[in-house]
Amino acid sequence: MTSDATVVATPRQPHVGAPPANWFRALLAGLVLAAPALLVTVDSALAYARGWRFSSRFDLSGALAAAAWLLVVAVACLVPASRRRLAVKLPQLLALSLSVCAGWLASELALGPLLERIDNPYLSRPGLTRVYRPLPGMMRDVGPESHVRTNSWGMRGSDPPPRETAYRILCLGGSTTACTYLDDTKTWPALVESRMQSSASTEKPARFWVGNAGLPGLRSMENLRFLQQSQRVNEVDCVVVQTGVNDLISCLAGLRPAPPLWIRSHVWRMAHVIIRSSIESGTLVEDAAGDVYRRRRAIRQAAAISDDAPPLEPCLQNFADNIQAIIEVCRQHHVRAVFTTQPVLWRADLDAQNESLLWFGQLADGRFLSARMLRAAADQYNDTLRNVCASEGIGLIDLDELNGDPTAFYDDCHFTETGARRVAQLVAEWLLEHPDDARSGAES
């Protein structure tokens, strides 16, 4: 005999109150996954609020990648299927997070010394080759095509000959020394070498070598750090430094806000070095066509022009301290130090055509300093340089005769081919007329 008992399932009561446990586990797992990207985003936002701005596409891509990852994690926490997986994988994610943090810290400690050897911010990569083809009309008296190559030292110029066979001269400075858009054979350091070589005495022939370690944007502070950190200072006989204009421009713009901490980390810097080495053989401050000059000039032309220069005295003192420190480093290494003044196009009566070529002089509030006041400020920097060199008994090559001459510049301070030839003539003549008795007798 059978019983037809009916089993009635009791429906499960819905959960009331706190969210299910897997919600908490999923959110915790999401936080673990998002923590690095969240730190990068917050760090970048704080730096941006201080006035810092991205200047590298590589750094910008890192920040965008962090923001994109935050979005991915947020979506994963909202989708039920992925949320359940996150909750299940929480222990593994915690272990992975701790391992990554430990690995990052170990890498930070290990990569510091390595980066000092392979990532010199004051030199380009050895064996670098670039070709510049400026747009027509962008730069006057600059060839239609310029070839730029770096030697085994990571600077423009031929490879240095053996130390005992030549008097080695190293030129330091910013873009006016680098002569970026001029062909290797037309930069003023290259022309100094050829002029000195051709002018050497036939009775006592000497061989000269001139290397060009100028890089766009470098100030006296960076030139000092190069001499303090690079072993190349021990392999040359004379250092010729042309500096001042970048110090001035930096002073007018005000203090540079510090970049985010993650950009300054050794791990990120190493990633930058690796990517740069595989994609681009060096950092291009100027584009090959020179189109960046169009944008730079347009910014100045659209801005208000002011005669109100900020106080320069603290900056001038810092500049003087850097010059004295450069002299001291050269003395410690028994290397001759020689400086040149920094000539510029600026002058009080600059005509409209030449005024349209300018792009320097932005102030902290977005206005630009007038050409008249820029010239007055540049004169103060050159006078400071003269005073330090005079008090220290250091050679100074005065390039004042180029000031305000449109044939010598294609913008505020960068030399045309004519300007580079004139600089080379003045520098070579001075060096030949003031020989370095200690070392200039190297026989060829």
For the stretch 23-52, pLDDT in tens is: 888 888 888 888 888 899 998 999 888 878
Distance CA 212, CA 155 (A): 6
The model's pTM: 0.77
Check residue 17 and give its pLDDT. 45
Distance CA 100, CA 32 (A): 11
Q: CA separation (Å) from 344 to 227, 377, 428?
A: 26, 11, 20
What is the pLDDT of the chain when averaged over all its residues? 87
Check residue 184 and give its pLDDT. 96
Asked whether residue 442 carries a pLDDT value surpassing 50, the answer given is no
Tokens of 91: 């222990």
Q: What type of residue is 224?
A: L
pLDDT band at residue 54, thresholds of 50, 70 and 90? Answer: confident
Q: How many CA atoms lie within 13 A of 282 on its CB side?
A: 22
Q: Parallel, antiparallel, or unpaired for β 146-149 and 129-132?
A: antiparallel
Check residue 277 and give its pLDDT. 60
Q: What is the pLDDT of residues 380-400, one digit of tens each?
A: 999 999 999 999 999 999 999
Distance CA 423, CA 410 (A): 15
pLDDT band at residue 78, thresholds of 50, 70 and 90? Answer: confident
Rank 118-127, 249-258, 288-297, 397-406 by mean pLDDT and report only the highest: 397-406
Query: Which of 115-129, 150-164, 404-418 shows the lowest per-residue confidence on average (mean pLDDT)?
Result: 115-129
Asked whether residue 319 carries a pLDDT value surpassing 70, the answer given is yes
Give the whole-number percent of the chain exceeding pLDDT 70. Answer: 86
Helices (H), 182-307: 188-199, 220-229, 245-253, 261-264, 266-279, 291-302
Distance CA 158, CA 212 (A): 10
β-bridge mates for residue 242, sequence order: 173, 340
Handedness of CA 96, 102, 107, 112 (dihedral sign): positive
Which is more confident, 353 or 62? Answer: 353
pLDDT band at residue 115, thresholds of 50, 70 and 90? Answer: low
Helix, strand, coil shares, percent, the chain, to 5:
55, 10, 35
